[in-house]
Amino acid sequence: MAHAILFTLRAPLRHPLLAVGTFLVVFSAAVGGLMLFPQRYEVKTTILAGSPLTGALFEQRDHERDAPTRAAREILVRRDNLEALAKQVNFAERYLAARPLAIRMVHRFFDYLNGRERTVDEVRESLVDALDERLGVNIDTEGTISITFRWWDKQMAYDVVNAAGESFMAMRHSTEIKTVAESITILEDHRARVEEEIDQRIVAMEERAKAEAGEKRHGAPAPAAAPRLVRRPNQDPDVSRLETLLAANQRAATDLETARQQRLIELQAELLQKQSIYAPDHPAIGATKRMLEIVQQPSSQVASLREERRRLEDEIRSRGGSATSAGASPATGAGTSSQALPARQEPAQALFEESPREEADRERLRNLNSRLGEISARIASSRLQMETAEAAFKLRYAVVTPPRLPKKPIKPYAMLFLVSGLLGGVLLAHLAAVAADLRGGKALERWQVEHQLGLPVLGETKRLP
């Protein structure tokens, strides 16, 4: 065995050109394979969803604590989301333009077998399937979401992971913020319909009062139980509408400020409780203090309501109305029978005093105005909820590890190819030299004579010329 190993090691010395040529061919093939076949790069991002430090921002029910991460994978790997992701990063176009030569040759071979070249849409569908397989979404118990993607183009891998993270954040923002905004829009539409119905009833009652007053002027006999009509001088129907809008504005501002003060008291109590439990530099105390600062800041919704109130007051004064008296009674609340009638009921009350005939209309106006107050209160509460959710979103969802452009592949493919080419070239060079010796059929060393002929070698001489 030792003689055979030494024979193999000395074989390249007997055939140097063959050994060097074999080594160069194998090593060149390894270098060519490194250039032709793609390498794999991995890009990763980590998102912290539902941070426990945001408990001071809003209350969470027990069954919703895993809501931010519960459907994260389903959101990201949903088919329509993957298709939108592929279109956003121009996956198919960039893939066809920059695919490696080896993959290009394989695709041309399959296109030749199919008899036609694949379209961009077909390539995109295949790439969406690849996204579904290679886009990894891992969720741990601490509420972090890890998004990883492996691809031979590191820029493409970075773009896919970055777009996937942005897509998840946008969907969570749509779920938590836009849902509240849509509910506000629905409530405002409902409030507009209620206001329109109130306006129509007020106009109908005023027209009925004018008709009855005209019958009296023309000497028509009045019924014995006819109501006594009292007409407010120079009453403009637009003033009634503006007074109603002003009353609703004041109710919304009052409700919003009341909810803000209540939330402020709750946060102050929560801060005192946490200060008695945790150290001063505990993150939970810092989160509560930040939320206190956010709630104490002037509300943009209140500012817009005040600006609208000033505009309504100026318009009422320009039409000869009294903005102060218009907003006095509604500020006390949306009462029904025992409280003073709001502004939208005032025209009907001024036109009819103690009229049994109009009692049903007045009661309907009271109910509508009560509904209007309830809707305005719900709108104010929803606006406060939306402001709180907007402020808490950046704390609730944070990108812990942003995606980075990889500097090297996930495996040292270049080193593997070079080492494989080097070792393979040396091994095949020795094998080629040994094969050349064996093919010659000559005994080149002493041990071959002893082994093949079974005779001892008494001596060795140099080859004569």
Q: Specify whether 275 is located in the same domain as 311.
A: yes
Average pLDDT over residues 406-410: 82
Average pLDDT over residues 113-142: 83
Those residues with Cβ within 8 angstroms of residue 143's Cβ, 6 or more apart along the chain or in another chain: 48, 49, 50, 51, 52, 66, 68, 69
Largest Cα separation within the chain, whole Å, is: 162
Total Cβ atoms within 10 A of residue 384 = 23
Q: Specify whether 426 is located in the same domain as 376.
A: no
For residue 424, report the phi and psi dihedrals to the nearest 5 degrees.
Answer: -65, -35
- For 161-171, write each residue's pLDDT tens digit: 998 888 888 87
Question: How far is residue 421's CA from residue 220's CA, in Å, rounded to a whole number?
Answer: 117
Those residues with Cβ within 8 angstroms of residue 199's Cβ, 6 or more apart along the chain or in another chain: 237, 240, 241, 244, 344
Q: 44: pLDDT confidence band, cut at 50, 70 and 90?
A: very high
In a domain, 181, yes or no: no
Q: Specify whether 257 is located in the same domain as 137.
A: no
Query: Where among 396, 422, 440 does a domain terminate?
Result: 396
Average pLDDT over residues 275-297: 75
Those residues with Cβ within 8 angstroms of residue 343's Cβ, 6 or more apart along the chain or in another chain: 240, 243, 244, 246, 247, 326, 327, 329, 330
Is the Cβ–Cβ distance between 243 and 343 less than 8 Å?
Answer: yes
Query: Percent of the chain at pLDDT above 90?
Result: 2
Q: Specify whether 289 is located in the same domain as 389.
A: yes
Q: Specify whether 203 is located in the same domain as 280.
A: yes
**Alpha-carbon 83 to chain mean position:** 16
Kindly report the pTM of this predicted structure.
Answer: 0.48
Domain span including residue 430: 2-33+414-453
- The residue type found at 113 is L
Q: Specify whether 287 is located in the same domain as 421.
A: no
In a domain, 184, yes or no: no
- For 409-423, write each residue's pLDDT tens digit: 877 667 777 788 888
In a domain, 222, yes or no: yes
Higher per-residue pLDDT: 112 or 238: 112
DSSP state, residue 250: H
In a domain, 185, yes or no: no
Beta strands in 244-373 (DSSP E): 352-353
Q: Specify whether 242 is located in the same domain as 101.
A: no
If you count them, how many residues does the chain have? 465
Weakest mean pLDDT among 90-104, 230-244, 357-371: 230-244
Provide the number of structural domains found in the chain: 3
